[in-house]
Amino acid sequence: MQAPWDPGQPIYRQLRDRVAAMVLDGAVGEGEPLPSVRRLAARCGVSPLTVLKGYRQLADEQLVEKRRGRGVYVRAGAVQALRDAERRRFLEGEWPRTCAAIARLGLSAEELLASARSGAAAAPPALPAARRGQR
């Protein structure tokens, strides 16, 4: 399965963000393995080096750890660390732009809440879920 990629951002970064979303969404829990590099590369239609670079970024952020001969695992505390970082990123980056767009379009709080309740906001495509216990 190939995921659509944003041409304005490096694929390894998008991969990192999608794996982070999997962790935040509970598709992969703390202490559990991520999909193997080769398996994820094949599913996403990218080079294994691209997956390695995305996993390396997560490791540099202390969110995952490589266990020699066993794969890459989500570290304890990764969910809270990701949640804190994503909240900060959203509030500092996306929220001001979102507020400006809301004001520019003249949207009311009621319209926004009604839209949220109806599920009008589409989620970005996710990576294939990891199979428990497989690398």
pLDDT digits (tens, 9 = 90+) for 90-116: 999 999 999 999 999 999 999 999 999
Residue 123 lies in a domain: no
Convert the pLDDT of each residue in 39-88 to its tens digit: 999 999 999 999 999 999 999 999 999 999 999 999 999 999 999 999 99
* In contact, 4 and 125? CB cutoff 8 Å: yes
pTM above 0.85, yes or no: no
Convert the pLDDT of each residue in 15-29 to its tens digit: 999 999 999 999 999
Q: Give the whole-angstrom CA distance, residue 52 versus residue 60.
A: 12
Chain length of the chain: 135
Residue 108 lies in a domain: yes
Cβ neighbours of residue 130 under 8 Å, at least 6 residues apart? Answer: 22, 27, 28, 32, 33, 34, 35
Give the pair of three-digit tokens for residue 110: 């009621």
Residue 55 lies in a domain: yes
Residue 1 lies in a domain: no
Expressed as residue numbers, the domain containing 81 is 11-118
SS3 111: helix
Q: What is the DSSP letter of 76?
A: T
pLDDT bucket at 132, cuts 50 / 70 / 90: very low
Residue 39 lies in a domain: yes
Q: Give the whole-angstrom CA distance, residue 86 versus residue 79.
A: 10
Residue 93 lies in a domain: yes
Q: What is the pLDDT of residue 119?
A: 77
Exposure string over 92-115, b if 16+ CB within 10 A, otherwise e: eeeeeeeeeeeeeeeeeeeeeeee
Give the chain's domain count.
1
Residue 126 lies in a domain: no
Domain CATH code at residue 84: 1.10.10.10
